[in-house]
Amino acid sequence: MCSIIGYKGQLNAAPLLVDSLKQMEYRGYDSVGIAIINDGKVIVRKSVGNVSNVTEKFNLGIMPGHTGIGHTRWATHGRVTEENAHPHYGCTNSIAIVHNGVIENHRELRNELIGLGHRFKSDTDSEVIAHLLESYYAKKDIKKTTIETCRRLKGAYAFVAAFEDGRICGSRCDQPLIIGSLDGGYFISSDVLGFLKHTDKAIFLHNRDIAIIESNALQLFDFEGNAVNRETTQVAWEGSSLDKGKYAFHTLKEIHEQPAVVEKAGIKKSGKIKEFCDILGDTRTVYITASGTSYHCALIAKYLLSNLAKIHCETIVSSEFPYTLESIDNSSVLLAISQSGETADVLEAARVAKQIGSKILSIVNIPTSSLARMSDSFLEIECGPEVGVAATKSFTAQLSLIYAIVDRLCNYVLGFQANKIFLAEASREVLDQETKIQAIAGKLRQARDIYLLGRSIHYPIALEGALKIKELSYIHAEGIVAGELKHGPLALIDKNTYVIIINPDDRTHCDNIISAREIKTRGATIIGISNKPNEAYDIFLKLPFIGESILYPIIEVLPLQILAYYLALIKNIDPDYPRNLAKSVTVK
């Protein structure tokens, strides 16, 4: 996923664009660039590196001009090089473009344009947009130019282009593009975070919308050239500011925001929860789909809905959905869980289910996201912007909301609502052990392999902990059903192995101790995460006792997040921006 931003207004564009790209850098950060229009010229500055590096390299912030576009890249087509960084321009440097998504027919278009004499400088798919615009721009009619260009593009994309005469255009197809309107100017961005500091008035473009910004006017029309009218929405990110505050990294700040997230789960929009629960409760089978961390939440959702609410559930990881011959039909419900609401695999699964006639429910953090907009009903996790690429507070927010939903479906016998404040307090107690967990990270710094064991509702937490360790510290980690050890994984265990056992004192506890003893005889180092110590553990991480043991997942994930965070720091890795990853995987 990349960040695209454009600005045209009364202020100097460069410093605004640089700051916007900083706010959105979590979307992709292997290269950065901006193009400023000044005195009829398109001036492009771009390089490999993050926003700070490139800003410093070119002194981006002081480039003069009131119109410009900017981009941070997460490479999909073409290596991470300066030539492949955005903005791209055509042969005459009269138009510069920035792009998010994939142009599926870029090879065909590139060959056609080369046949017309165009010369390409990069090996990206995006550059074809610049040359196409240029090839249609001959008559200087920006509306016609943009329509002709958009009609040729295939794929999931959003782009913004700046013309030498100071006009900006943009269009979207299955990738977000949002106008931020303020006195004396407009932003056009892939994410509200790109302009939220300056305005909360947002216009969410629909698929196949085209926007043209000239002087102080905004025109919206469709691919047929018909004017379209889109409402202005007031957006707000409650409860969270965008800076790191007293924390070194967004990831640590967001880990510490989790007690507050638990406290407020399921409080607001109770009318919407009723509608959501009515649909859930009134169906034969619920198919739950998600990716990554959200999929681990889906596994817990299945456990709770099936065992407590007695609703038959199937979980399908979204990337597998197209290959799954599930019996999903028009009497089913698809519950999609996605923090960003823009994950390509999740959107694709929802589209397929919708075409079959299933009802679509979703749990999202961004109420204006593509997934929310295509759902029959959606609930927001309301945890504020999550900037760190590794999902932490959004996982806890998803989990808490699911507990709140199941609690409601079971007439509150689950005890989540009744115990929320206590759970938040228990979370704070766990987070207070940060220094101790940091020391444990020091002991694991040389680990080659870390295995995480769990049973029942704790197994998805073992998977989630393993994912956090992998994505933040690049150490191989694997979540395993503890009862499966003897069926193979035990062969991996030796004196160099580290095993984390998620073992609160519930009905899985004794079986886990047996597993711990099996592992101990093979010389592995065992870290026990439990409310109850045991001599089998070499290292013990105490959890507060929680009467309702089914609620432990909310707090037992916390030490694993902290551990992964400090493993990243020990290995001198930036936890906010792990290599090769992006916050939302908007391409398949």
Mind telling me the catalytic residues? Answer: 2, 583
- Dist. CA 458–CA 1, nearest whole Å: 31
> Pairing state of beta strands 232-234 and 209-214?
unpaired
Minimum CB distance to ligand AGP smaller for 126 or for 339: 339
CB-CB neighbours of 429 under 10 Å: 15
* Chain position whose Cβ is nearest to ligand AGP: 292
Do you know the residue count of the chain?
A: 588
Name the helix (H) or strand (E) containing 350: helix 344-356
Which of 181, 283, 294, 512 is in the footprint of ligand AGP by CB under 6 A? 294
Q: Return the closest-CA partner of residue 172 out of 342, 34, 348.
A: 342
Residue 338 interacting with ligand AGP (CB under 6 A): yes
Choices 220-228, 326-334, 388-396, 480-488; region in contact with ligand AGP by CB under 6 A: 388-396
Window contacting ligand AGP (CB under 6 A); options: 155-163, 335-343, 399-407, 551-559: 335-343
Residues between 558 and 587 that touch ligand AGP (CB under 6 A): 584-585
Whole-number Å distance between alpha carbons of 301 and 281: 14
Q: Which is nearer to ligand AGP, 65 or 292 (CB)?
A: 292
Does residue 390 bind ligand AGP (CB under 6 A)?
A: yes
Which of residues 343, 375, 549, 561 is near ligand AGP by CB under 6 A?
Answer: 343
Q: In this chain, which stretch among 16-24, 210-218, 334-342, 494-502 interacts with ligand AGP, using CB under 6 A?
A: 334-342
Q: Does 293 bind ligand AGP (CB under 6 A)?
A: yes
Instruction: Determine contact, residues 179/158, Cβ cutoff 8 Å.
Output: no
Site mask for ligand AGP (CB under 6 A), range 470-509, x = bound: -x--------------------------------------
**Alpha-carbon gap, residue 453 to 514, rounded angstroms:** 12
Q: Show the site string, 412-451: x = touches ligand AGP by CB under 6 A, - = not.
A: ----------------------------------------
Asked if residue 106 lies in contact with residue 152, where contact means CB atoms within 8 angstroms, the answer is: no
Tokens 């916050």 sit at which residue?
583
Q: Tokens 């967001």 belong to which residue?
A: 254
Region of 233-241, 289-297, 495-503, 545-553 interacting with ligand AGP (CB under 6 A): 289-297
- Minimum distance of ligand AGP from residue 394's CB (angstroms): 7
CB of 342 to ligand AGP, least distance (A): 7
- The residue (of 36 and 462) whose beta carbon lies closer to ligand AGP is 462
Return d(Cα 192, Cα 194) in angstroms, integer.
5
Of the candidates 496, 480, 476, the one whose C-alpha atom is nearest the C-alpha of residue 488 is 480
Half-sphere exposure of residue 255: CA atoms within 13 angstroms, side-chain side: 29
Q: Name the strand (E) or helix (H) holding 114.
A: helix 106-115
Which of 109, 161, 381, 389 is close enough to bind ligand AGP by CB under 6 A? 389
465 binds ligand AGP (CB under 6 A): no
Report the b/e string of 2-24 with b at 16+ CB within 10 A: bbbbbbbbeebbbebbbbbbbbb
Burial grade of 115 (CB within 10 A; 0-12, 13-18, 19 or more) = exposed
Tell me which stretch binds ligand AGP (CB under 6 A): 53-61, 285-293, 501-509, 550-558: 285-293
Which residue, 3 or 419, is less far from ligand AGP as judged by CB? 3
User: For residue 350, what are its two tokens?
Assistant: 């929802």
Minimum Å gap between C-beta 156 and ligand AGP is: 15
Residues touching ligand AGP, count (CB under 6 A): 15
Between 390 and 524, CB nearer to ligand AGP: 390
Q: Does 72 bind ligand AGP (CB under 6 A)?
A: no
Q: End-to-end alpha-carbon separation of the chain, Å?
A: 10
- The nearest distance, CB 586 to ligand AGP, in angstroms, is 9
Question: Is 515 a binder of ligand AGP (CB under 6 A)?
Answer: no
Pick 201 or 351: Cβ nearer ligand AGP:
351
How many CA atoms does the CB half-sphere of 75 hold within 13 Å?
A: 18
Q: What does each C-alpha distance from 367 to 105, 112, 303, 341 come to in angstroms?
A: 31, 40, 26, 8
Between the alpha carbon of residue 71 and those of residues 33, 131, 511, the distances in Å are 5, 18, 52
CB of 341 to ligand AGP, least distance (A): 7
- The identity of residue 387, as a single letter, is V
261 binds ligand AGP (CB under 6 A): no
State the Cα–Cα distance between residues 96 and 35, nearest whole angstrom.
Answer: 7
Choice from 235, 334, 391, 560 touching ligand AGP (CB under 6 A): 391
Binding site for ligand AGP (CB under 6 A): 291-294, 338-340, 343, 346, 389-391, 471, 584-585
